[in-house]
Amino acid sequence: MIDTDSAAIEQCGKLLLDHQLTIAFAESATGGSLAAAFSKLPEAGNFLKGGIVCYDACLKEDLLGVAKETIETHTPESTEVTREMVIGLKKVMLADIYVAVTGLTRPGGSESEEKPVGTIFFCIAQKDQISCCVEHFTGSEDSIIGQTIEQISRTITKTLANQA
């Protein structure tokens, strides 16, 4: 069971409502858990557009238009791929805020000394601005996913609070 700090998610949802903004997700590492967490918030239907789970690299290419060369050069778990995912998501769904996330929640994939398990990449797009972050979390797969959801929620909240 993924354990998240519901206060961070709730605060983010409230700000989305207050600012009358909508949000959409493209998820790899979180496997749909990010959209699921937001869908449980009160009035989610007023701000949550939806999400795409594109765990396999082929789906990143086919659904979101991530270049095969980008995946081959930088690996599916990278800032470069995540950036292309968020750009592709903007072409698939109409929303005010777009979030894409990739990373390593368990051994395998493109894991290395420089990119250990717990390395998470996410990009947030709003209007013509794209902000990308790399975070390093520890713990179980569920814990890493929970920490990712919380960090993305806090990042969006901080961005929206600065716009007020």
Domain boundaries, the chain: 6-163
Q: What is the fold, at CATH topology level, of the domain defined by 6-163? A: Maf protein (3.90.950)
Q: Is the pLDDT of residue 155 over 70?
A: yes
Q: Measured between alpha carbons, how far is 24 from 60 in angstroms, rounded to an integer?
A: 15
pLDDT tens for 60-89 read 999 999 999 999 999 999 999 999 999 999
Structure confidence at residue 6 (pLDDT): 83
Q: Measured between alpha carbons, how far is 8 from 54 in angstroms, rounded to an integer?
A: 25
Instruction: Report whether 126 contacts 107 (CB < 8 A).
Output: no
What value does the mean pLDDT of the chain take? 94
Supply the DSSP string of 41-92, one letter for each residue.
STTGGGTEEEEEE--SHHHHHHHH---HHHHHHH-SSSHHHHHHHHHHHHHH
Q: Is the pLDDT of residue 163 over 90?
A: no
Mean pLDDT in residue range 158-164: 84
From the centroid of its chain, how far is CA 84?
12
- What is the pTM (predicted TM-score) of this model? 0.96
Structure confidence at residue 3 (pLDDT): 63
